[in-house]
Structure 1
Amino acid sequence: MKDRILIVEDNSMVVKSLHFKLTKDGYETVVASDGREALKVLKEQTFHLLITDLMLPFVSGIELIEFVKNNIPDLPIIVLSTSTQEEVIMDAFNLGVEDFITKPFSPNELSLRVRRTLQKK
């Protein structure tokens, strides 16, 4: 069975890049373009990994992370963000995310971090 990854990202170019690389690596991906859609999908389906941006329409990435940690605590989370603010990054780690990747990112680095995160679970 393929590992299922939920990608929550509102930038279509980033989504295409993530979907292409992760599918090529053998993962099944589901995409949500905003936090509200992601919450709905998380309540209906099971995933092995969540990759989310922090700056999302309707429901923020931080709110999404809080929901996951309170309701699906075993689901690992990788945050993708353009934010280089230490406070934002620390908030994400304090909420329990497994990894933080700053955009723009290397597809190979992403692949490595996804594989490493999934091996830990």
Structure 2
Amino acid sequence: MKKIVLAEDNSVFLLLIRLLLEKEGYQLFIAEDGKKAIELIEAQDPDLILTNIMMDFVSGLEVISHVRNVLKKQTPIIVLSAIGQEEMVIKSFDLGANDFMGKPLNPNELIIRIKRILI
């Protein structure tokens, strides 16, 4: 079973994504903020990381940077963000994100992107 760390502070969005991914058979580890996301990533060594950008304590950008520069891991990272400004998208990719989806997102498209990365 593939493990996914989901870092998301919006409880409604979190519930929707959680139900969707669990239905697809993924094992989910939920972090409501970036600090918890880093702890879960270090503890669980997930197959994929889904992260929001704007979160308490540690931002999604800092999570990406930590995974790539501190942990030195190539774990695939998909950014899910309502902040779809070009600057934020470019910064996410520069830090090492594999994909970026703006919110609101299409759940079926998210599943397709996840499956494509986890092949």
Shorter-normalised TM range: over 0.9
Q: What is the SS of the residue equivalent to 1:88?
A: helix
- Letter matched to residue 118 of structure 2: L
Aligned to 1:9: 8
Q: What is the SS of the residue equivalent to 2:88?
A: helix
| Residues paired across the two proteins, number | 118
Aligned to 1:23: 22
The runs of 4+ residues in structure 1 deviating greater than 2 Å are: none
**Structure 1 unaligned regions, length at least 5:** none
Identity of aligned residues (%): 41
State the TM-score, normalized to the length of structure 1.
0.94
State the superposition RMSD in angstroms.
Answer: 0.9
* Cα distance in structure 1, aligned partners of 2:73 and 2:20: 26
* Cα distance in structure 2, aligned partners of 1:41 and 1:6: 7
Q: What is the SS of the residue equivalent to 1:75?
A: coil
Aligned to 1:50: 49
* Cα distance in structure 2, aligned partners of 1:45 and 1:98: 20
* Cα distance in structure 2, aligned partners of 1:28 and 1:118: 13
Aligned to 2:108: 108
Aligned to 2:73: 73
Q: What is the SS of the residue equivalent to 1:101?
A: strand
* Cα distance in structure 1, aligned partners of 2:30 and 2:53: 15
Deviations 1:90-109 (A, max 9, x none): 00011111110000011101
Q: Please state how far the C-alpha of 1:72 moved relative to its aligned partner.
A: 4.2
State the TM-score, normalized to the length of structure 2.
0.95
Q: Please state how far the C-alpha of 1:43 moved relative to its aligned partner.
A: 1.9
